Structure 1
Amino acid sequence: MPSTVEELSPNRVRLTVEVPFAELKPSLDKAYKSIAEQVTIPGFRKGKVPPMVIDQRFGRGMVLQEAINDALPGLYTKAVQEASITPLGQPEVEVTKLEDGDLIEFTAEVDVRPEFDLPDFSSVAVEVEPLDVSEELVEQQLQTLRERFGSLIDVERAAGEGDVVTLDLVATKDGETLEDAQAEGITYKVGAGGMLDGLDDALTGLSAGESKEFTSTLVGGAARGTEADIRVTVSKVQEQELPEIDDDFAQMVSEFDTAEQLRGDVVSRLTNMARLDQAAKARDAVLEAIVADLDVSLPEGLRTDELAARRTQIEQQLAQAGLSLEQYLQESEEAEEAETPEEFWAEVEVRGEAALKAQLLLDKVADDREIGVEQEDLTQHIFRKAQQSNTSPEQEMQHMMEHNHLPEWMTEIRRGKALALIVESATVTDTAGEKVELANLGNDGSITEPAADEPAGAESPDSPDSPDSPDSPDSPASPASATETESR
């Protein structure tokens, strides 16, 4: 199958491919069979209409068009392999010549991976913060455990900080009750915050059956952002009685016999989680350092598509959350660096370009080092996705097959392996000068949980490598997100 490659720019080529007509025969036969099964012609059984009759009734052109559409993906893939190019994105294909019975010629314009030199990864050095498991953090975890196994006791007194109250809320605006701003029977811990500004102050000092009014800005529903008059009524006040951390408590909530052993386990788990967080930051820092110095120009089509996809995803997330971008920038701690929509989109563009460069880097490393994907790699990947999505491996496997995600997941695994190879070559120290051992960095670039048994009822801190928060538009701020592709 003769083909030529014309360089349109450093990042884009045009393939011109000539296909002998004989190579189209399987697709032609398939097209005739498909049409014969769909049409009804007197004198012929369904599916048994001869090709000559189909040509006479419907025209040879329709058959050729269906056959060519069927054959082009395979012909294009074959031409790409013969030309030894690495396409990026979808090609623009045009049939330029069709000589029935002789040959077909088509062109395919496509962005290709630019040529660039890989840096010496062993020369990369980055710093991360040292492990920090403070006594305060240990006490917080133990306090959380106490609260989970504590009990609530009704009290006949005014509510104070730390008490749990059952309350009703009614919001009004100019004397009119707001339908979407009413709630009954809410259980709330005084001092917890996170509901309405001013609520904690209003509740403090109220006993069961008492009410108080205050003004606040609504944070949800159709009237979100509206300043309204709030009337809160307390129907019950309860005091939380917490168990002491002693040997009996340790035996009740865990497999340990003593409080000292329970505390030691909490310290161990927090240390493991801190190490996990440190490894994730080290991985990201190495990749970010390399990408920052990488001299590579991005294909404009690829860049445009990536930024458009990111913008669409963010706008959809904001719409689902019922937020405007301006509201998100005001309320989100993650958006502190951007004060205006223009600054926010500029940051998104910078992150998008960094992620694309990271993808090009990892793909080139994977190709140059001939990194492959084994069945065990795919199995581990599926198990990891199941853990992140809180599903079963069987469900993830079915999802992969139904949506044809195998190529995407294979790409994720190859990039992850390339990332692990890069990080392994780099030097990572903490700010105290100690070398960081990346024991939790998997050979696919992922950060894995340390092997540790969790005591019954104990709460683990949030994993730093957990899936992106749904209420954080464009949360993958690091090019390390290049190891994964959106597949749902």
Structure 2
Amino acid sequence: MPSTVEQLSPSRAKITVEVPFADLKPHLDKAYKEIAQQVQIPGFRPGHVPASIIDQRFGPGVALEQALNEALPDLYSSAVAEHELVPLTQPEIEVTKLEVGETVEFTAEMDVRPDFMIPAFDSVEVEVDAVESTEDELEEQVKILRERFATNTEVDRAAAEGDLVTFDLKATKDGELIEGGEAEGVTYRVGAGGMVEGMDEALTGMKAGETKTFTSTLVGGPAAGQEADIEVSVTKVQEQELPEVDDDFAQMVSEFDTAEEMYDDLRQNLVRMHRVDQANAARDKVLEAVIKQIDMELPANLLAAEVEARNSQVDQELAQAGMTLKQYLAESDENEETEEEFRATLAERAAESVKAQLVLDKIAEDHDVQIEQTDLTEHLFARARANRTSPEQEMQHMLEHDHTNDWMTEIRRSKALALVVGAAVVKDSEGNVVDLKGLQADGTLAAEAADADVDLDEVEADEVEADEVEADKVEAE
């Protein structure tokens, strides 16, 4: 089966395949047999209609077209393998010559992975922040635990900093209620921050049953950025009494008998968490350093599809949030000020992502990276930790949404990157070499991945819950 390849560009190729008509005979015979089973022609039993009658009734091209549709995929795959191409998009196939009884010729045009060289892994050197776990950070974790087990007592006095205040609010402009500007039963710790400017000052000194109005700029909702009159009506003031950090407290909130043991364990877990963060930063920087050394033309169709997918995802998320892109940019910390700048940055990130995928796929191919059952198990557990679900739920989600191939590809790329990171030179900001040879495919360190999630998991959940509560308050404003 003669075939030739024309390199239209570094990332685009066209294969021309010439097929002797005799090679199509098995497919043609099968096509006639299947058609004979499907049609009803007087005088012939189903499945026994001669090929000549089928051609006479339906035209000679019907069976030939079916035969070609069945034969071309395998012929195309053989030609791709022969010329050692790596297709990245579905081929655009066209039959260019059809001489019945003699020859069939077709072309297939597709995006292909361009040729490029991977730099030596040990030539890559990056710097990450040194691991630091301050006592202030440790005390913040303990504070969260203390607040979780605090005693809240309703008091008949004016609210002060640290008190929990429950109140109703209304946001109006020129006497008219602003859309989304009304909330009831909001609970807030005075001095915690995160509310509109002036809220702490307004609540301080107020007692249950009192109402106060102040002017501020809304920070969330459809009217974000607008100045409004905020009316707060306090319904309850609670004094929060935090438990002392002693051995009894340690036994109540942890598996340890003494406060010293609890502190030591929290401190070690903070270090572990920082090391995992350091490992993830190293992965990102190593990959960035590798792709910077590689110059390639990105496949146009593949890049366009990635850009479109990212734009569609942003548009969908904005629609679900009831926001426009302009509103999002005004409220977020994004560096881009205009929609055009944002879309341009999105396209740049898409290009970086496509390039990274091509590089990691080639590394995985060159080093024959294989996926084991344990890799999938670790991936499911990592997703479950990140999404606060169970591995069984993640497995069900994978099967229901047909994510198997996508997740396998993700695992393979992660293992390829782990190879590079393990061989690269990674130093921290203090000049110390960071050993990441135990880096797993999901970005955690083999000896520490499990421990890092255990004791601080509940504390992290409390932080997330607290953040969600604060976010709800801000949105209510």
Normalised TM-score (structure 2): 0.85
Q: Aligned with 1:80: secondary structure?
A: helix
- Is contact 2:27–2:70 with CA below 8 Å preserved after alignment? no
Q: How does 1:3-402 map to 2 (within 5 A)?
A: 3-19=3-19, 20-22=23-25, 24-25=27-28, 28=31, 32=35, 36=38, 61=61, 65=65, 68-69=68-69, 72-98=72-98, 104-178=104-178, 180-333=180-333, 335=334, 337-402=335-400
CA-to-partner distance for each residue in 1:168-198, whole Å, 9 max, x for gaps? 1122232223353221112222222323333
Preserved contact between residue 93 and residue 107 of structure 1 (Cα < 8 Å): yes
Query: Structure 2 CA distance, aligned partners of 1:395 and 1:54?
Result: 53
Q: Is the 8 A contact 1:255 1:455 kept in 2?
A: no
Answer whether contact 1:27 1:68 (CA < 8 A) is retained. no
Distance 1:338-1:253 versus aligned 2 partners, 3 A rule: same
Partner of 2:414: 416
CA, structure 1 residues 395+51, in 2 after alignment: closer, same or farther (shift >3 Å)?
farther
1:130 maps to a residue whose letter is A
**C-alpha displacement of 1:40:** 8.6
Give the unaligned 5+ runs of structure 1: 464-470, 472-488
Shift of 1:284: 1.2
Q: How far off is 1:329 after superposition?
A: 2.8
Distance 2:193 2:60 in 1: 73
After TM superposition, the structure 1 stretch with the greater mean CA deviation from structure 2, 447-456 or 287-296, is: 447-456
Give the CA deviation at 1:153. Answer: 0.5
Change (3 A) 1:196 1:70: farther
Q: State the Cα distance separating 1:150 from its structure 2 match.
A: 0.8
Hey, what's the Cα distance between the residues in 2 that align with 1:445 and 1:208?
51
Q: Match for residue 466 of structure 2?
A: none
TM superposition shift of 1:254: 0.9
Letter in 2 for 1:24: H
The code of the aligned residue for 2:301 comes to G
What is the CA deviation profile of residues 214-257 of structure 1, one whole-angstrom value per residue up to 9, with x for unaligned ones?
22334444444443322111100001111111000111111100
**Cα distance change of structure 1 residues 245 and 62 upon mapping to structure 2, 3 Å threshold:** farther
- Equivalent position of 2:467 in the other structure: none
Secondary structure of the corresponding residue to residue 170 of structure 2? strand
1:89-134 CA-partner distances (Å, limit 9, x unpaired): 2222223344566654322111111111221221221111111100
C-alpha contact 1:164 1:238 (8 A) present in aligned 2: yes
Q: Which amino acid aligns with 1:360?
A: L
User: Structure 2 regions of 5+ residues with no counterpart?
Assistant: 464-470, 472-477
1:450 maps to a residue whose letter is: A
The one-letter amino acid paired with 2:318 is L
Q: What TM-score do the two structures reach when normalised by structure 1?
A: 0.83
For residue 89 of structure 1, what is the amino acid of its counterpart?
T
Counterpart in the other structure of 1:447: 444
Cα root mean square deviation, aligned:
3.2
Amino acid at match of 2:416: A
- Cα deviation, residue 83, structure 1: 2.4
Residue 159 of structure 1 and its aligned partner are, at CA, apart by 1.2
More displaced 10-residue stretch of structure 1: 421-430 or 339-348: 339-348
Of 412-421 and 93-102, the range deviating more from structure 2: 93-102
Task: Please identify which structure carries the higher helix content.
Answer: 2
What is the aligned counterpart of 2:431 among 433, 446, 450? 433
User: Cα 1:31–1:440, aligned 2, differ >3 Å: closer, same or farther?
Assistant: farther
Deviation at 1:84, TM superposition (A): 1.2
Q: Displacement of 1:434 after TM fit?
A: 1.0
The one-letter amino acid of 1:171's match is A
Task: Tell me the number of residue pairs that the alignment of Structure 1 and Structure 2 aligns.
Answer: 457
Displacement of 1:199: 2.1
Structure-2 separation of matches of 1:303 and 1:457: 39
